[in-house]
Amino acid sequence: MRARDIIVMARRRAGLTQQQLGQRLGAPQVTVARWESGTTEPKFQRVQEVVAACGLDLTLGFATADEGSWTSLIYEQLGREPAERVRHLTYDRFDRVAALKLVGTVGARAIVVGEVAGALHGWPLILSDQGTLDLLVHPEDRELATETIVAAAVNPDRVRLLDAPAGTRGFADLARAASEVAVDGATVEVAALVDLMRIALTDRGPYSQRFALALDATLQLTARAPTSTKDESQSTQGARARADAWLATQTR
């Protein structure tokens, strides 16, 4: 867990605004904002001071990365509507929800992948302050998506149109298990958790392993609840089978 995550969780648990926390520390609000966005990295002693200012103790210990340390955070996220899950994890000026609503209204066939998809599913990780909204677009709709979604986005440089994320065979591969998610009145297609894990496990990005662990923890918790329809159950089982088959090829 990074310093930014600790600071955000401590402040929220204490019910403080960034300005209120800054006042307790004798620091301006902008300093707290920079810590939480990851723009600056405070020293460990400063993190301890932040936690203490929130009326909490910072206890350190060793634990395996997959033993469910995110359980309470994921349950909190699952208790929110999808749009609020994204907003709750956003600490920069990029309005991801507005961009998602645009995706859901223009008619281009697109599947949300990447960290925003993880947030929509309920994962606990704060979204990167330079992160993007990643969309896997149907080949026939790429021009439409470029002319509508990207062109109309307030932050067009933060919207990426992908052809085939790592570990996948493109749109048709992920479309089979993707699910519809309502986002503030619009409906978007979101890649299944197991497919997002497949991408994270294949990708060589600096946070890919962390993403995979967060996705796995989210999958374990959401899998405990029964699926609402037979079609959803079959879709999930099919996605799991494809993920298992892919993982088997990586361990031979």
Report for 17-21, 69-73, 209-213, 236-240: range of highest mean pLDDT: 17-21
Residues 129, 216, single domain; the answer is yes
How confident is the model at residue 118, as a pLDDT?
Answer: 96
Residue 122: inside a domain, yes or no? Answer: yes
Q: Residues of the chain with pLDDT > 70: what percent?
A: 84
Exposure of 103 by Cβ count < 10 A (0-12 exposed, 13-18 middle, 19+ buried)?
Answer: buried
Q: Look-up: residue for tokens 């000026």?
A: 93
Cβ-based neighbours of 200, under 8 Å, separated by 6 or more: 208, 209, 211, 212, 215
The DSSP letter of residue 189 is E
The answer to whether residues 138 and 166 touch, using CB atoms and an 8 Å cutoff, is: no
User: Domain limits at 100?
Assistant: 71-250
Does residue 61 fall inside a structural domain?
no
What SS3 state is found at 160? strand
User: Are residues 141 and 180 both part of a single domain?
Assistant: yes
- Pick from 31-40, 113-122, 155-164, 220-229 the range whose average pLDDT is largest: 113-122
Judgement on whether residues 144 and 215 belong to the same structural domain of the protein: yes
In a domain, 58, yes or no: no
**Residue 108: closest CA among 116, 117, 120, 99:** 99
Closest CA to 49 of 4, 5, 7, 2: 7
Contact 203, 247 (CB under 8 A): no
Instruction: Verify that 143 and 218 share a domain, yes or no.
Output: yes
Q: pLDDT higher for 235 or 140?
A: 140
Q: To 10 degrees, the CA torsion angle through 236, 239, 241, 244? A: -120
Q: How confident is the model at residue 28 (pLDDT cuts 50, 70, 90)?
A: very high
In this structure, is residue 132 part of a structural domain?
Answer: yes
Tell me, yes or no, whether 234 lies in a domain: yes
| 132 and 181 part of one domain | yes
Say whether both 13 and 111 belong to one domain: no
Q: Which H or E run includes 248?
A: helix 230-250
- In sequence order, the 6+-apart residues with CB closer than 8 A to the CB of 144 are 106, 107, 108
In sequence order, which ranges of 79-126 are alpha helices (DSSP H)?
82-88, 96-106, 114-121
Residues 44 and 124 reside in one and the same domain: no
Residues 48 and 76 in one domain: no
Contact assessment for residue 181 and residue 120, using Cβ atoms and an 8 Å cutoff: yes
Q: Does any domain span residue 242? A: yes
Task: State the CATH number of the domain containing residue 14.
Answer: 1.10.260.40
What total of structural domains would you count in the chain? 2
The confidence score (pLDDT) of residue 159 equals 93
Instruction: Give the pLDDT confidence of 142-173 residue by residue, as tens digits.
Output: 999 999 888 888 888 999 999 999 989 999 99
Q: Do 75 and 34 share a structural domain?
A: no
Based on the domain organization, do 193 and 95 belong to the same domain?
yes
Residue 62 lies in a domain: no
Is 65 within the bounds of a domain? no
The answer to whether residues 32 and 124 belong to one domain is no
Q: Are residues 110 and 33 in the same domain?
A: no
